[in-house]
Amino acid sequence: MKLLLLFINILLFISLSENSILGATCGIQTVPKHHHRVRRIIGGIDAQPGSWPWVVNIQMPTKNGYVTVCGGTILDNLWVLTAAHCLYKLQSYTNLARIVLGANRASELGPDTQIRAIEEFIRHEHFEYETKKNDIALIRLNKPIEFNDYIQPGCLPPQSSNVSEMDDCHIVGWGVLQEEHYTLPSKTLKEARVEIINGKLCNDSNWYNGTIYDYNICAGYEQGGSDICQGDSGGPLMCKKERAALYYVFGVVSWGGICGKWHQNGVYTSVQHFEQWILNKINSSQDTTDDNKEETSEETTKSHNKDTESKLAKINDILSDENTEYKTNRRKSVLKIRAARGKFNNMETSSRKITTGTMQQENTHSGWLASHAPSQLVFQVKAYILLIACLVLMFLCL
């Protein structure tokens, strides 16, 4: 009987894990993983190698070497899910980007790491850069991935699952660790646990004030804490039930306020909302990758070696402009939240004045009662003594 139950559990586990685009096993953490309950990803803990095998690092070349610009999620052996705003201002240079798979340290690639180029970058047709509306995209790789213990596909969530019911959610990324000092992206993959925040609460007037839509997910902590930051864009929000085996990719890192601060949590694009779009794009795209095309691409790269320096300089300028834009937007967020807090504090002060006035009247009235009814205090003391005596007696009888 025990063997039968074990066999049924194994079949259920396998059937639940077959939810990648190709129907292959997905969402399996093949390397042993110990979860850490941490409150911050900024300056937080390192993820163990292989603990999140479906996460990829998207890098661009600069004069000082490759740098992390975004994250992504492996869907199958040829497709990666990311955010539409990733590489948006570098569209002319996506052929120079590299997709790093199976890495833990972004700059020190081990023997299990694989590198691919971008064959095609498909943004949502109605993506808006300023508002981050429909912030979702697909990357078709130049050649198939060879799966191993450190490289596995992630699972898309079933339409029947409700992200608000998930009680074990994690975020990961190579983003900056201290936004205040605008440090470089982390060299090591970071992880943190977050909570799903109710959309209506997240849309409150002293929060994101109506800018959260049905295609968004809010995650983090109301008072600040674990959060995504610059460089984490495109990476996954992964959730499951506490006792479940598989993580599902419910969200794609899209935008947020001041990293890790009060009412400034990360906002994610809902994968469930765009799941049909993802499937349609993958099914309609023909695989035109072959050895001849790869060789032609290499020859083309060699013939343009003279332009490499000018291209790297241009990429440096674009990334520098993006950092400046990022800082400016964050300053605007700071001013906005300070204004909201000031308004809240003024309302609170006014409320205190009204409450104080009422309390003074109550204190005057209660003082009159206390001075004219000393017997009430004596009665209360006697009642407490009697109660304690009854409890002691009940304990002795037991």
Which residue in 309, 305, 390, 289 sits closest to 79, CA to CA?
289
Give the chain as a 3 state SS string: CHHHHHHHHHHHHHHHHCCCCCCCCCCCCCCCCCCCCCCCCCCCEECCCCCCCCEEEEEEEECCEEEEEEEEEECCCCEEEECCCCCHHHHHHHHHCEEEECCCECCCCCCCCEEECEEEEEECCCCECCCCECCCEEEEECCCCCCECCECCCECCCCCCCHHHCCEEEEEECCECCHHHCCCECCECEEEEEEEECHHHHCCCCCCCCCCCCCEEEEECCCCCCCCCCCCCCCEEEEECCCCCCCEEEEEEEEECCCCCCCCCEEEEECCCCHHHHHHHHHHCCCCCCHHHHHHHHHHHHHCHHHHHHHHHHHHHHHHHHHHHHHHHHHHHHHHHHHHHHHHHHHHHHHHHHHHHHHHHHHHHHHHHHHHCHHHHHHHHHHHHHHHHHHHHHHHHC
Which residue in 249, 214, 246 sits closest to 235, CA to CA?
249
- Residues with catalytic roles: 85, 135, 233
